[in-house]
Chain A
Amino acid sequence: MYSLSEAAHQVPVIEPSAADGTFSLLWLVIGLPLLGAVVLLLGGRATDRWGHWLGTLMSLASFAVSLLLFVELLGRDEGDRSITQHLYDWIAVGDLQVGMDLLYDPLSALFLLLITGVGSLIHVYSIGYMEHDPRRRRFFAYLNLFVAAMLMLVLAENYLGLFLGWEGVGLASYLLIGFWQHKHSAAAAAKKAFVINRVGDIGMALAIALLFTTFGTTSFTAISQVSGAAEEDTLTAVGLLLLLAACGKSAQVPLQAWLLDAMEGPTPVSALIHAATMVTAGVYLVVRSNFIFELAPTAQTVVVIVATVTLLWGAVIGCAKDDIKKALAGSTMSQIGYMMLGAGLGVAGYAFAIFHLITHGFFKANMFLGAGSVMHGMNDDVDMRRYGALRHAMPITFLTFAMGYLAIIGFPGFSGFWSKDKIIETALAENWVVGVLALLGAGITGFYMTRLMLMTFFTTKRWKDDVHPHESPGVMTVPLVVLAALSVLGGVLLLGDWIVDWLAPVVGEAPHHEPPLPIIVITLLTVAVVAVGVAAAWFLVGKREVPLTPPQDVSFATRAARADLYGDGINDLLVGRPGTATVRGLVTGDRTLVDGVFTGGSSGIKAVGDLLRRLQNGFVRSYALSVLGGVLLVVLALLAVNLA
């Protein structure tokens, strides 16, 4: 345990005030969607008719409360923007005192708006998308459950509460990926996501345990006040364990394999969970734990390495996928890599990581929903090789998707341009190798997104005659329009460095680093690299005929990218097969050795028993003889004792 006076305050300390007034409504943000989930799950078929409306309403109400709280928070002084609400004592065992506490600060506030805002739009969209699904009510229950868990994750005041939400989103993700459980691939994907997430969760559990043994508490407030006094080795260990957890949840290398398979879920799920919110939980965790990572430079370096590898890994995969959702998933992986990179860069990057997280939440949700809209019109076909020239058939989808596209490649003026550019800029300032790789990633992003765009909306019509592409209903296009607008305008958050100042109380003020090149040069360089990627895509895809079946005589790099860079193979080789072999060996050992010992022991005892039971011959005289023998022994013993 460390006293306050000992702590060296290198990091911003969280000093929240108790919730009062409007802020006492904080619990409602979580409570409303949770209530929706409970009602819909327990209500059963009775709620089938209006279940989707209730779910959407709960999400919207939560958004309204979040908005109210945000406005309230804006009105406060900068130093007074941390609010806690103590709901009840959750765990009280010996030294372990954990309250069900909520922490509302600028970081949580942004997440609240993102989760409930994008979440509500996706709820609305799902009303149309899932219209013909007989289990729509259950779908909305799971969506509400997910929103509640995600809100718990970002509102928790301690690591255990965060862990509760962490596991909650894992559960909701599992349920939603496997929502179409009649499909074997969906069930397998759900299981895969769940298992890989467990690997990360072990890191989380160990990190929490380590924090508790080191600091005697799991509260963010308390740890941020005393973390400076802990040994760096301990903090490095905690940081690496937290990174492992973040890797699992945010699909970073080496725990990235589940994200592509997770596209088996309904498209709104992919948009909400596997693009906009849940997969960003890892970024949130790293940023929230800045008081640990700031003091553990080694862990930060590892974060940067993992993030850089992932952003390239995801981008390469995205280049080779013909499945529109998987291409987007590769892109998600890559973009989260950018966020992690920002978070790993420390104080200078936290704000930009969160900024990119928010803009990405907008444009990626936009594009996923757009992809869903395309699939909706194409009889749920996901192969881009059978799309083409859809811009005429579904103009709204095309336009909104184009906004997202321009945002993600970083077209000047769009939201992604501001956020990605800032991360690359910071990376170059911190370490030019990482910066160059991030720049390269931006170019690849331009390539694969342009390829996706061209194959879907431009080039020639390749769909069959019995397919009749059509625009989606209004309930689906309205969220697309809203998200497209946000994709375009998301950059306003950076106006006058607003988001940096806003997050400063949580993540600290960045010392000014002069980048190796003037900022305008970096920006131009980035735009140039992206332009190269776009041009390459135009010449390789746009100018040529797109074959209906993927060509087989391709380079090794393409084959590797098609196979997810052999992520599954590596997992299988390193974990799957040794694990299976070990289990087989253990089973064999159990059957032969352990069972053998047990059955052998029991049959041995039975044999002894068979011998001994011969003594029970039923003859009273025989028993009396034994008694006499015993008497003789006792008398002899007495004599021996007395004579000795």
Chain B
Amino acid sequence: MTDVTPYVVLSAILFSIGCVGVLTRRNAIVVFMCVELMLNACNLALVAFAKQHGNLDGQIAAFFVMVVAAAEVVVGLAIIMTIFRTRRSASVDDASLLKY
């Protein structure tokens, strides 16, 4: 069996891409998708390390991450909906009243 380094590297790349996405996209829904992408990248690393160490704890952690992600998406999307209803916009830049 070869080692899991390529998986971890892929995880790092996906995580970075997710970061850039969060920073550059302005549609709140797409930003959210990028956050999900980052979470998934972490999951990949967890699962890969689980295999590396022959230990199922990594898989359990990934499982919990999924649960948390599900909860987060539900609430986050509800917030986006509420904001959209009041402001007719889903752009994260429009919600910029809290400033100097």
Contacts and interface: CB of A to CB of B under 8 A. Distances in A.
Direct touch of chains A and B (CB < 8 A): yes
Interface in B25-39: 26
Contact of A625 (B23, B96, B98, B99): B23
Contact of A616 (B24, B95, B99): B99
Contacts of B24: 621
Contact of B96 (A613, A614, A619): A619
A620 B99 contact: no
Contacts of B23: 621, 624-625, 628
B50 interface: no
A3 interface: no
B90 interface: no
A5 interface: no
Chain A, interface SS category = helix
Contacts of A613: 100
Nearest to A610: B100
Nearest to A619: B96
B99 A618 contact: yes
A642 interface: no
Given A625-B23, A628-B19, A628-B23, A617 B92 contact: no
B72 interface: no
Interface residues of A, number: 11
A618 B98 contact: yes
B14 interface: no
A626 to B, nearest CB: 10
Chain B, interface SS category = loop
A568 B92 CA distance: 80
Interface string A620-642: 11001100100000000000000
Nearest to B99: A618
A621 B20 CA distance: 10
A614 B99 CA distance: 9
Interface in B1-36: 19, 22-24, 26
Nearest to A609: B100
A618 B97 contact: yes
Interface in B58-96: 92-93, 95-96
B22 A624 contact: yes
A476 B36 CA distance: 107
B95 A620 contact: yes
Interface in A588-631: 613-614, 616-621, 624-625, 628
A621 B99 contact: no
B100 A617 contact: yes
Contact of B26 (A614, A616, A621): A621
A621 B96 CA distance: 10
Contacts of B92: 619-621
B96 A618 contact: yes
B22 A621 contact: yes
A616 B24 CA distance: 18
Interface string A280-313: 0000000000000000000000000000000000
The 3 closest A-B pairs by CB, nearest first: A618-B99, A618-B96, A613-B100
Given A618-B96, A618-B97, A618-B98, 19 more contacts: A613-B100, A616-B99, A616-B100, A617-B96, A617-B99, A619-B92, A619-B93, A619-B96, A620-B92, A620-B95, A621-B22, A621-B23, A621-B24, A621-B26, A621-B92, A621-B93, A625-B23, A628-B19, A628-B23
5 contacts: A613-B100, A616-B100, A617-B96, A620-B95, A620-B96
